[in-house]
Amino acid sequence: MKFTSLILTLLLIIISADSICLENTEDIKAISKLLKKLESSYESKDLESYKSVFAEEGYEYISNMATPDDPSDDVHLVGRDKEIRSAIKVFDSYPEFDLEITSPEISFDENGAEAKSEYRIIILNSGKPNTPDVFYCGGTHVFKLKKFTDGWKIIRWQQFELPMNELENMMREERKDKDVEKLIKEIGHNKLRKWAMAMADLKRIRDDYTELIIDAIKSGKKAARIRLINVLKGTDNDEALNRLTLILKDKNDDIDVRIAAVNALEECNKSKLDSLLIKIAQEDKPQLRAAASLVLSKRIGKRLDEIQQILIAGLKNHNEEVRKASAECLRITTQYYRLDILKERLMDTEELEEVRLAALKSLSNCGSEKLVETLNNILKNDKESLQLRICSAQALTRVKNTDNESLDLLAKIAKDEDENLELRKESILALGKIGHSRVVKNLVKLLNSDVVLIRWSAVSSLVDINDKDALKPLMMILMNRDEDIFIRRLASRGVVNMNRDIAFGPLSQIIKDDTEDPTTRRMAAESLTLIRDERTALLFADFLLDDSQPWWLKRISAEKLGNFKPGISCISRCIDALRYAASSEDEKTANAAQKSLKRLEIKISAKSYPISNNN
């Protein structure tokens, strides 16, 4: 009987193990499918699909912000709605990007599952200034998942992002053996991460391989030809410009390829190409005409800036005739836009919205007071499109003398909870940029809004206006531990700008409070660096001498103390603190202290301050 019982027990264990194994296999498939859904919905910008992968309640996101050794700048978002808002910002900022997640390593415990995977995000620059053509981020994702009645959901997403230089080195190492022919071949790939990186690589070496690029443009497929033409954008190489010119003159070539050639000439410095662009701007094909006209206006606009600088200098010339001529020429160049024609297009409600928007943006650049009534009428007309109303609010900030009607109208929209949120935000920001103190009370009332974006906009505008009546409300925002960290950071800047003496107390209180999260304390430390008086110098010196303080606070103190001009009563304390920090085990803190010490000693030497000999 005992033997039979043992056999039965073993059989039950085997059956149970098989069941668990089968269950885990199904769960692994389900989790892998969920993460694939996250990847595909993020790439396709399908918000509803993206939203469905996260738990409705209890979700949180954490990122080290590519500074693994500095937890003070970590981002911590709680709630699925914040994740969606963050995704919307990314989608709006970067129209073209590619997310790649490797197959996850999945493990299970009594609370659910954990999935770990590597990721890369390749982002294509869409004309943003001071931004590389292609940039990327990457690292490791760790997902905590829980099984609900409707399936597995992500309850925690932790992102360990690699520093940019480390990631760039990895990417460069992966691609170092790619020759030009392979790069040209990759240009035609249908995956953004392939062709975008190939474009970036080719652009760096294009001057050495122009001939090969030109040959590929002659015979490649349409998508590859357009991308290779973009590689040549801004070049002054004669051979490359000849190829672009031939494409433009060939009316039988593909229109999209010809448009790419037009756009490639925008940054070229050779003015002889303007005559060719003028001819293209007069062709029958509307898309080509539009592209050529736009490029021409940008090229001519750049020269107008140069001309106006010459004329402005002419206004200071000792010769009276030169000054008169400069003044007259400036009057003419400021009439570069035909205001009457633009206004006519704007007021024509039968006109295409894109045309009306373009006219409005051009008119707003003029900043004429005559536009105020027109802008007010568009802004208060809820039958007008949202974009026109938003642009009107923004345009009012560029008008030289905005009237009270405009201020009242913007304030009315700002507080109207039934209005579009984006329009409310832009109206609030417009009030701040106009900068009239009469709207401060309206903005202060908005600080009680339940909507984070409205509170952020109101604080931003109060900071811009810099009125003393906003000091107390901003102080309350700063000291509110439940407030959004970004709003508190804005408020701290405003408080410092308005009254540095008052700002010192709450900021030093926050930074000393070890129950505050590190991000908030760091914010306070950074704001304190703007108050370069004896109190702040002594506080930072105390941090350096106190071994119980976190390393990141010591590092900030070491970096910033050298920028101060401490009074004679605390100079020795600062020097002693920096000398002590210069021997820190934390290499970055020690280096920062040594640099600050040198800067401080130079200032001291110039003022003949006594320096302590203590070690």
Asked if residue 167 and residue 18 are part of one domain, the reply reads yes
Question: Residue 162: is its pLDDT beyond 80?
Answer: yes
Asked if residue 144 and residue 55 are part of one domain, the reply reads yes
Q: For position 612, what pLDDT does the model report?
A: 46
Residue 437 within any structural domain of the chain: yes
CA distance 173 to 168: 8
CA distance 579 to 541: 10
Question: Residue 131: is its pLDDT beyond 80?
Answer: no
Asked if residue 59 and residue 83 are part of one domain, the reply reads yes
Asked if residue 409 and residue 299 are part of one domain, the reply reads no
- Whole-angstrom CA distances from 120 to 74, 100, 164, 388 are 19, 5, 12, 37
Asked if residue 121 and residue 37 are part of one domain, the reply reads yes
Would you give the DSSP letter of residue 70? Answer: -
CA distance 301 to 308: 10
- Which of residues 252 and 300 earns the better pLDDT score? 252
Asked if residue 430 and residue 345 are part of one domain, the reply reads yes
Residue 100 within any structural domain of the chain: yes
Asked if residue 7 and residue 148 are part of one domain, the reply reads yes
CA distance 294 to 196: 25
Tokens of 301: 């606009």
Question: Residue 19: is its pLDDT beyond 60?
Answer: no
Q: What is the pLDDT of residues 177-231, one digit of tens each?
A: 778 999 999 999 988 888 888 888 898 889 889 999 999 999 889 999 999 999 9
Residue 308 within any structural domain of the chain: yes
CA distance 291 to 295: 6
Question: Residue 72: is its pLDDT beyond 70?
Answer: no
Residue 232 within any structural domain of the chain: no
Of the listed ranges 35-49, 54-68, 129-143, 492-506, the least confidently predicted one is 129-143
The mean per-residue pLDDT over the stretch 347-369 comes to 79
CA distance 245 to 226: 14
CA distance 346 to 352: 10
- Which of residues 522 and 143 earns the better pLDDT score? 143
Residue 31 within any structural domain of the chain: yes
- Provide the domain count of the chain: 3
Residue 117 within any structural domain of the chain: yes
> For residue 134, what is the domain's CATH number?
3.10.450.50
Asked if residue 452 and residue 303 are part of one domain, the reply reads no
Where residue 494 falls (left for φ over 0; alpha for ψ -120 to 50; beta otherwise) is alpha
pLDDT-derived band of residue 23, with 50, 70 and 90 as boundaries?
low
Angle between helices 192-205 and 222-231 (to 10 degrees): 40
CA distance 217 to 231: 11
Angle between helices 500-512 and 485-498 (to 10 degrees): 140
Asked if residue 441 and residue 381 are part of one domain, the reply reads yes
Tell me the one-letter amino acid at 534.
E
Q: Do 295 and 262 touch, CB atoms closer than 8 A?
A: yes
Q: For position 331, what pLDDT does the model report?
A: 57
Question: Last residue of some domain: 285, 307, 335?
Answer: 335
Q: Do 189 and 195 touch, CB atoms closer than 8 A?
A: yes
Q: For position 15, what pLDDT does the model report?
A: 44
Asked if residue 407 and residue 305 are part of one domain, the reply reads no
Residue 12 within any structural domain of the chain: yes
Residue 68 structural domain: 2-171
- Which of residues 594 and 76 earns the better pLDDT score? 594
Q: What is the mean pLDDT of the chain?
A: 85
Asked if residue 382 and residue 286 are part of one domain, the reply reads no
pLDDT-derived band of residue 599, with 50, 70 and 90 as boundaries?
confident
Question: Residue 292: is its pLDDT beyond 70?
Answer: yes
Residue 86 within any structural domain of the chain: yes
Question: Last residue of some domain: 465, 481, 496?
Answer: 465
Asked if residue 452 and residue 406 are part of one domain, the reply reads yes
Please name which of 494, 499, 498, 424 lies closest in space to residue 455, comparing C-alpha atoms.
424
Q: What is the pLDDT of residues 499-529, one digit of tens each?
A: 988 999 999 999 999 888 777 888 898 888 8
The residue to which tokens 């043992």 are assigned: 6
> For residue 452, what is the domain's CATH number?
1.25.10.10
Q: For position 408, what pLDDT does the model report?
A: 94
Q: What is the pLDDT of residues 255-287, one digit of tens each?
A: 999 999 999 998 888 888 888 998 998 888 888
